[in-house]
Amino acid sequence: MSYWIALGAAGAIVIGSISPWATALGGIVNVNGTAGDGKITLILALVALVCLWAYWQGRVGLAAVVIVILVGLVVFGVGIYDVVNIENSVDTSEKSGLFAGVDLVDIGWGLWLVVVAGAILGFASIALSRHDRARIATRDSA
């Protein structure tokens, strides 16, 4: 089960990486993730997908799962960094006049998807590694 969750999370990171990470003027303007750090998360998600596929095929063992755990952590970190960066780039308290109290830039749904999917990928991969270690222990004791 954790394998399928990790696979879905990696796929969600791909989708989130190419989707809007920031919207401006109430959604009139979108900035996709590939305009910035989304390139990094996209490449990392593809690495995770390849590692998960190789693990499923039995070509690699726990090392691939460890790589996927690290990918999840890095993707989550990149996402949080960009969320904080976008939030800090537009301070509503300093605006006056027509745009007083209005956020001109909002975090896009793609960035939120990357953050959540990165965390899920990390946790699902940790569960997968625990399952893999239990499977190896059972095999070695037989």
User: What pLDDT sits at residue 58?
Assistant: 85
- Nearest by Cα to 8 from 142, 133, 123: 123
Q: How many domains does the chain have?
A: 1
| Banded model confidence at residue 93, pLDDT cuts 50, 70, 90 | very low
68: tokens are 């996927």
User: What pLDDT sits at residue 28?
Assistant: 81
pTM score over 0.75: yes
> Is the pLDDT score of 98 beyond 70?
no
Structural contact between residues 17 and 94, judged by C-beta atoms closer than 8 angstroms? no
What is the edge-to-edge ordering of all strands in the sheet holding 20-24? Answer: 29-32, 20-24, 105-107
- Identify the domain containing residue 51 by its residue range: 2-92+100-141
| Banded model confidence at residue 54, pLDDT cuts 50, 70, 90 | very high
Higher pLDDT, 106 or 118: 118
Q: At CA 81, angle to CA 98 and CA 85, rounded to 5?
A: 20
* pLDDT tens string 7-42: 999 999 999 999 999 988 777 888 999 999 999 999
